[in-house]
């Protein structure tokens, strides 16, 4: 839940101060690759990043960073982007809109939660992701078998 403390006008933008920061952390950075196996050979086999999960239906594979739970997500269908973890993609999109940004893509469902794409007043595109449905469950080979809270 986003709690508004006060609203202040500042140079044609509405400034909204929240009791808690909107962004929790960088959940993942998506990196486009032409093919998952080719991407895995480079990022896993050559650079040493451990495979956390693979979802061929989505054309994605999640790799671990050594000192973080943030993931590298190789993707055959998306562009290069950081994905910001938020408590609720719907509430976060509304907060960005109320603060003077805009919603580029309304919140939509993904297997692990919801995603919204927003832009700040300066034109920067931000992908906001919540994990409201849980995290991937994998088999011993890292293939996604389901989602669990």
Residue identified by tokens 């993931």 is: 71
Question: What CA–CA distance (Å, rounded) separates 89 from 118?
Answer: 10
Q: Indicate the SS3 state at residue 94.
A: helix
Q: What is the pLDDT of residues 100-127, one digit of tens each?
A: 999 999 999 999 999 999 999 999 999 9
70-97 per-position pLDDT tens digit: 999 999 999 999 999 999 999 999 999 9
User: Is the pLDDT assigned to residue 6 strictly greater than 60?
Assistant: no
CATH class of 21-144: alpha beta
On whether the CB atoms of residues 24 and 91 are closer than 8 A, the answer is: no
Question: Residue 19 in 3-state DSSP?
Answer: coil
Q: Which residue has the tokens 């050559």?
A: 46
pTM for this prediction: 0.80
Cβ contacts of 144 within 8 Å, gap of 6 or more:
53, 54, 55, 111, 136, 137, 138
Q: What is the residue extent of each domain of the chain?
A: 21-144
Say which residues have a Cβ less than 8 Å from residue 106's Cβ, sequence separation at least 6: 93, 116
| Average pLDDT over every residue of 50-78 | 95
């Amino acid at each position: 839940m986003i709690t508004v403390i006060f609203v202040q006008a500042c140079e044609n933008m509405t400034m909204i101060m929240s009791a808690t920061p909107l962004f929790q952390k960088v959940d993942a950075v998506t990196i486009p690759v032409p093919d998952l196996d080719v991407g895995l050979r480079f990022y896993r086999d050559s650079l040493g990043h451990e495979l956390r999960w693979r979802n061929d239906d989505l054309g994605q594979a999640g790799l671990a960073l050594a000192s973080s739970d943030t993931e590298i997500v190789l993707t055959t269908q998306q562009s290069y982007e950081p994905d910001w973890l938020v408590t609720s993609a719907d509430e976060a999109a509304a907060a960005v809109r109320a603060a003077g940004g805009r919603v580029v893509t309304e919140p939509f469902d993904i297997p692990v939660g919801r995603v919204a794409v927003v832009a700040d007043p300066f034109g920067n595109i931000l992908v906001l992701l919540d994990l409201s449905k849980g995290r991937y469950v994998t088999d011993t080979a890292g293939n996604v078998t389901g989602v669990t809270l």
